[in-house]
Amino acid sequence: MTAIDPTLTVVPRARRPRDHARLHKNVSRGMLILYILFLLVPIYWLVNMSFKTNAEILSGVSLLPQDFTWHNYAVIFSDSTWYMGYVNSLIYVVLNTLISVTVALPAAYAFSRYSFMGDKHLFFWLLTNRMAPAAVFALPFFQLYSSVGLFDTHIAVALAHCLFNVPLAVWILEGFMRGVPKEVDETAYIDGHSFGGFFLKIFMPLIASGIGVAAFFCFMFSWVDLLISRTLTSVHVKTIGVAMTRTSSATGLDYGVLAAAGVLTIIPGALVIWFVRNYIAKGFALGRV
Amino acid sequence: MLKTQNNKAWFLVLPVLLLVGFSAILPLMTVVNYAFNDTFGNNAFFWVGLEWFRDVIRSERMHDALQRQLIFSAIILAIEIPLGIAIALTLPKRGVWASLTLVLLALPLLIPWNVVGTIWQLFTRIDIGLLGSTLAALGVDFNLGRDAIDAWATLIVMDVWHWTSLVTLLCYAGLQSIPEAYYQAGRIDQASRWAVFRYIELPKMQGVLLIAVLLRFMDSFMIYTEPFVVTGGGPGSTTTFLSVDLVKMAIGQFDLGPAAAFSLMYFLVILLISWVFYTVMTNLDQEKEEVPE
């Protein structure tokens, strides 16, 4: 995509014109805009559908709702199964993100700084836990959490999602921590910081972007999974996944409500990325100690 | 980086070990139990040894599903990794636009997978979908329920739509961690854009790229919900990937024994390929570190 400059040293400065750079910038900006349009069109279609009546959805294609209606959203906000589905899902997702990042931080530090017995095997074993298809684990999870009396609680789903989120958080954090020079740690210890003080006050701010990214991914993978959360809950904790299956009934799929529910599932995540974007964007300040 | 030898580091890893051990090892033992036993319910099992495994290995159906799965994952990686890197390089580095594009990029990632499937199923319908009707208006004979190539194209475009942003976000985070001084050094050397990418940006992105490749490989290899919703594995069984087949076997036919044997082998295949990726990429990493800079 970039114009490959065939010369590293030969071409004199005058022949590397500003126009060239500007052209390159415009091309890459154009590419980005095209890509974002590609991302947004299906979402636009979902939003568009959520404001249509079912009759209009099924009658053909129209770029804007002809018969604009809030009915689909009204259904969701007036029915406690629907809106409590969102609340319940948010509770276990937030719990999971907190647990995952908290336990992953010290582990990632250990992997990035120390070599210890079996470290490489352990690191790889952690990752293997992300490799088991969720469908495989649904039934065993149900048996396990029933037997320890956690079935149908938020914490059960939060713990179950740790299976794939903790390894991921360790991996992401380890990558970011490896980028922080070890001299940072050593200087801090020489300055008389304890491990805890150093970790919280100096090290964590340095990898803030990594923590943000890890938290975002934990949130995301916990939020989008509906299979395990549905398996582990029944009466007290009805999740959004359960609510969504109600859109298909004997009379066919309630497309409008399903679209509205889909639109609403995007919002919490969009808020989280908006909150995290500063951490991603900031990068980390090298040599801050 | 030279690491300090210190076995006390185990204490830092212990919480993760306990947590993941609880969630992984016990359920895995259940699966193993099913794989080697037959049951008529009531928790009464009898040992059948490797019989289920023999059945699964010999089954034509499993071979075909595995082949489809490998092709699918290969196509996904070949498209999403380069595209993700390219998009990450075009992102504005700071300012309001940077924030806004990040949020927009992340949107597809945050949609629950069954909703993703529903969106694309509706989006590509010829009668009521925007894409389907546009293609029909352009005279393209598009029918993902009948034409295997259309079904594959839809699934691939959907996955690119859904997941390329993951690669982009990881690469972008990696790019952000490159100190400005490196770029200055590049400018002083009058390095070309390509040279800056090859010798400054790519090495610094290696860590996050490893994560991106592995994640995309594993998730595309385990893809279930989206093809199930969009194509239902069809037309025929042309888009019946491993997970779709597995769930059919375990829940549709309730063949728990073969399904458990199937899932253990499925798991081993993912493990093997991920291990290859991991070893190759960490070795590249070490070779680079041995060269004095």
Per the structure, the count of domains in chain B is 1
CB A234 within 8 A of CB A152: yes
Q: Please determine, for residue B78, whether its predicted confidence score (pLDDT) is greater than 90.
A: yes
Distance separating alpha carbons of residues A73 and A58, to the nearest angstrom: 18
* Nearest-neighbour CA in chain A from B236: distance (Å): 22
Average pLDDT over all residues of chain A: 80
* Nearest-neighbour CA in chain B from A45: distance (Å): 7
Contacts of A90 (CB under 8 A, 6+ apart): A268
- What is the per-residue pLDDT for B84? 92
CB B201 within 8 A of CB B178: yes
Where does the pLDDT of residue A95 fall: very low under 50, low under 70, confident under 90, or very high at 90 and above?
very high
Q: Please determine, for residue B42, whether its predicted confidence score (pLDDT) is greater than 70.
A: no
The helix (H) or strand (E) run that includes residue B283 is helix B256-290
Domain ranges, residue B226 = 21-41+51-290
Burial B39-55 (b: 16+ CB within 10 A, else e): eeeeeeeeebeeebbeb
Other Cβ atoms less than 10 A from the Cβ of B111: the count is 24
CB B20 within 8 A of CB A163: yes
Q: Please determine, for residue B290, whether its predicted confidence score (pLDDT) is greater than 60.
A: no
Nearest to A262 among B93, B111, B267 (CB): B111
- What is the per-residue pLDDT for A282? 47
A-contacting residues in B 116-155 (Cβ below 8 Å): 118-120, 122-123, 127-131, 133
- Is the peptide bond prior to A65 cis by the omega test (within 30 degrees of 0)? no
The residue-averaged pLDDT of B215-222 equals 86
Residues of chain B contacting residue A24, judged by C-beta atoms under 8 Å apart: 193
Burial (CB count within 10 angstroms: exposed 0-12, middle 13-18, buried 19+), residue A140: buried
Other Cβ atoms less than 10 A from the Cβ of B79: the count is 17
Distance separating alpha carbons of residues B242 and B248, to the nearest angstrom: 10
Residues of chain A contacting residue B169, judged by C-beta atoms under 8 Å apart: 213, 280
CB A155 within 8 A of CB A95: yes
Distance separating alpha carbons of residues A98 and B242, to the nearest angstrom: 33
CATH 1.10.3720.10 for domain A76-282, yes or no, is: yes
Nearest to B94 among A60, A223, A281 (CB): A281
Domain ranges, ordered by start, for chain A: 76-282
The residue-averaged pLDDT of A238-266 equals 76
Which of the two residues, A12 and A286, has the higher pLDDT score? A12
Q: Is residue B71 part of a domain?
A: yes
Burial (CB count within 10 angstroms: exposed 0-12, middle 13-18, buried 19+), residue A5: middle
Interface test with B, best of A224, A231, A279, A282 (most B CBs within 10 A): A224
Of the candidates B184, B179, B176, B274, which has an alpha carbon nearest to the alpha carbon of residue B222?
B274
- Token look-up 């209606």 returns A69
CATH number at residue B220: 1.10.3720.10
Distance separating alpha carbons of residues A49 and A240, to the nearest angstrom: 19
> Given the DSSP bridges, would you call strands B37-39 and B45-47 parallel, antiparallel or unpaired?
antiparallel
* Nearest-neighbour CA in chain B from A68: distance (Å): 17
Which region holds residue B230: left if phi is over 0, alpha if psi is between -120 and 50, else beta? Answer: alpha
Distance separating alpha carbons of residues B169 and B153, to the nearest angstrom: 24
Distance separating alpha carbons of residues B89 and B176, to the nearest angstrom: 10
Of the candidates B114, B106, B174, B144, which has an alpha carbon nearest to the alpha carbon of residue B236?
B144
**Cα A99 from chain centroid?**
15
Residue of B nearest to A142 (CA): B27
Q: Is residue B121 part of a domain?
A: yes
Distance separating alpha carbons of residues B108 and B161, to the nearest angstrom: 7
Q: Please determine, for residue A107, whether its predicted confidence score (pLDDT) is greater than 70.
A: yes
The residue-averaged pLDDT of A195-222 equals 86
Q: In the structure encoding, which two tokens stand for residue B159, read together?
A: 């996955």
Which of the two residues, B238 and A223, has the higher pLDDT score? A223
Q: Does B45 touch chain A (CB under 8 A)?
A: no
- What is the per-residue pLDDT for A98? 94
Q: Identify the top-confidence range among A256-260, B79-83, B201-205, B216-220.
A: B79-83
The tens digit of pLDDT for each residue in A5-50 reads 554 444 455 445 567 777 777 888 888 899 999 999 998 988 888 8
The answer to pTM > 0.95 is no
Q: In the structure encoding, which two tokens stand for residue A110, read together?
A: 């250990």
Within chain A, residue ranges assigned H as helices are: 18-50, 54-59, 71-78, 80-113, 119-128, 134-147, 154-178, 182-190, 195-197, 204-206, 208-224, 227-231, 240-245, 255-282
CB A101 within 8 A of CB A195: no
A-contacting residues in B 69-88 (Cβ below 8 Å): 86-87
